[in-house]
Amino acid sequence: MASVNLLDTKTVNLNDVLGNGKIYRVPQFQRDYSWGQDNWEDLWNDISIVKATGSPHYMGSVVLQNDGSKQYLIIDGQQRFTTLSILTLAFIARIQKLSNDGIDVEANKERADILMRQYIGQKDPASLRYSSKIFLNENNDGFYQQRLLTFKQPINVSKLSDFEKLMWEAYIFFQKNIEKDFKTQSGEDLANILNKIIGDLLMFIQITVEDELNAYTVFETLNSRGVDLTSTDLLKNFLFSLVAKSKTDLNQVKGQWKKIIDAIGLKDFPVFLRYYLQATKQMVTKESLFKVVKQYVKINSDVFDLLDHLETYAYIYVALSAPDDELWVVDKEIRNYVNALKIFRVTQWKPLAMVAFEKPPVAEFKKLIFSIVSISYRYNVIAKLQTNEMEKIYSKAAINLFKHEQPTPQAALNDIRGLYLDDEEFKNYFQIKQFKTSNSSDKKQLRYTLYKLEGQEGGHLYDFESDSGTIEHILPEGYPEIWKDIFSEDEYERNIYLLGNLTLLEPAKNNKEAADRDFEYKKTVYATSKYVLTNKIIFGSWTSNTVKQRQAHLAKLATAVWKI
């Protein structure tokens, strides 16, 4: 079988990147220039260190797509490319100023021309304008070509768009720092700093791919900051390119895309898109997302169909992560179920819930969500089983529900029932469950658990988020001396975070009355508590065996609380 060259990787410096007549283009619909003061300062500090040490500095990886004839699309790295180009222009402007001020006039003029050709582009013999080596996106390129490359100050800076202001402010920032740090430097010195220090010693890992699919694959396997954001850009570029021939279609798609991104957020969009596909099409891994999109979206009508569906599901997807969303105002029970799932830190159920919300009546949706809470509590919170199989089962159930014209939540429930631990298995896991109260996630899940058990034991449905109850460690967390004769150090470690050793107690009783006292005294405090779960701690002594007995009792309660 012939080998496939997915990508070409090599280490290059800035002079390598901008040399050899290469042309770079930012894809038309890539996001606008967004670097600000902190980014510029970091770059300037890096340059100062390189100048002082003479050692190379790594600027990260850039991903280019070979577009033929020495032309490349900047898939990842446009912010650095744009900023370094602006930095270069600031150096050239400083050398031109020296010439204009009568300092080594001809030599500095020639230096500026050479540097323009080396870093910016060739001068057109007819218009006498420089033909750029870098072309920015549809919003940024006009300002870059017409103002920055020609060293023309904007007529009214206050009227510039946000990204134009950032580009202009970057240019002014570098001009000021060159003036401050290199004020006494000659044109020759400045040219050497740009060419020999910045050009030679700023290093990149250059990754060149042959097509969009490979570019996306590289994104999903690179372990670097901003990958999700860039993969969203790549998906957007692909969708926009399919409708770009029609200005009307493009404007409509842009508007719809903005609505979806405003609802979901740039960073979370790939997750949302993957869940949509898993809810309606097929199982999708993060790495195969772009490939699957291209499989279903081939012509402009497919783009509109996809965006229509994404817009429909966007708001329910957001609400499924937000218990206080206005969607749940009319039904407090659903709100509580969504809140529980958020506390469980489980997300694999969302594709099914997205489809279910659109299909049956709200009452049926509520039944399904309650069942998902019970499944998730047993499977994820208590047993902590692997989630790979879980994702496949939820996807299959969602697709079945999506395809049926007259779906029923019972059918969906049957599809996911395999995830439901039976009572005996659940009790076995529950009887060894620990909640580390030093961990904020565990602590939230513990409060939820104890309050639910309190409701089952005594019928008092206190709100676990608003009620003032605190978590009491019957065997104290501080392991005081009076307990060391009862629990060895090894027993203490095994029992301190077991659920059987944990209960609810009013703040004043926990902090002042019970605290680190012995068990006999604690029992008198527990007897006065409003929590039935705590009133019933009436053992003769508190040992490893009684912790185990109480946890077994709580396990029986739990099978009734989290039950389909």
Dihedral pair phi/psi, residue 488, rounded to 5°: -65, 170
What pLDDT does 68 receive?
Answer: 76
What pLDDT does 4 receive?
Answer: 45
DSSP 360: S
The model's pLDDT over 381-411, given as tens digits with 9 standing for 90+, comes to 999 998 888 999 999 999 999 988 666 777 8
The mean pLDDT of 215-243, rounded to a whole number, is 67
Q: What percent of the chain has pLDDT over 70?
A: 93
Rounded-to-integer distance, Cα 559 and Cα 430, Å: 9
CA torsion 27→32→36→38, rounded to 10°? Answer: -50
The mean pLDDT of 52-67, rounded to a whole number, is 88
Contacts of 111 (CB under 8 A, 6+ apart): 95, 187, 188, 191
The model's pLDDT over 259-284, given as tens digits with 9 standing for 90+, comes to 999 999 888 899 999 999 999 999 99
The mean pLDDT of 235-257, rounded to a whole number, is 87
Burial (CB count within 10 angstroms: exposed 0-12, middle 13-18, buried 19+), residue 334 = buried
Instruction: Give pTM, 2 decimals.
Output: 0.74
The mean pLDDT of 3-26, rounded to a whole number, is 79
And the tokens for 2? 């012939």
The model's pLDDT over 325-373, given as tens digits with 9 standing for 90+, comes to 999 988 999 999 999 999 999 999 999 999 999 876 888 889 999 999 9
What pLDDT does 77 receive?
Answer: 87
And the tokens for 547? 């912790």
CB atoms within 10 A of CB 247: 9
Query: Could you tell me if 109 and 99 are in contact, meaning their C-beta atoms sit under 8 angstroms apart?
Result: yes
Residue keyed to tokens 């996809």: 306
CB atoms within 10 A of CB 159: 9
Residue 289: closest CA among 223, 220, 239: 220
DSSP 19: -
Residue keyed to tokens 């309650």: 370
Rounded-to-integer distance, Cα 175 and Cα 211, Å: 38
The mean pLDDT of 85-98, rounded to a whole number, is 95
What pLDDT does 506 receive?
Answer: 93
Instruction: Give the DSSP H/E element, type plus range, for residue 60.
Output: strand 57-66
What pLDDT does 509 receive?
Answer: 85
pLDDT over threshold 50, residue 239: yes
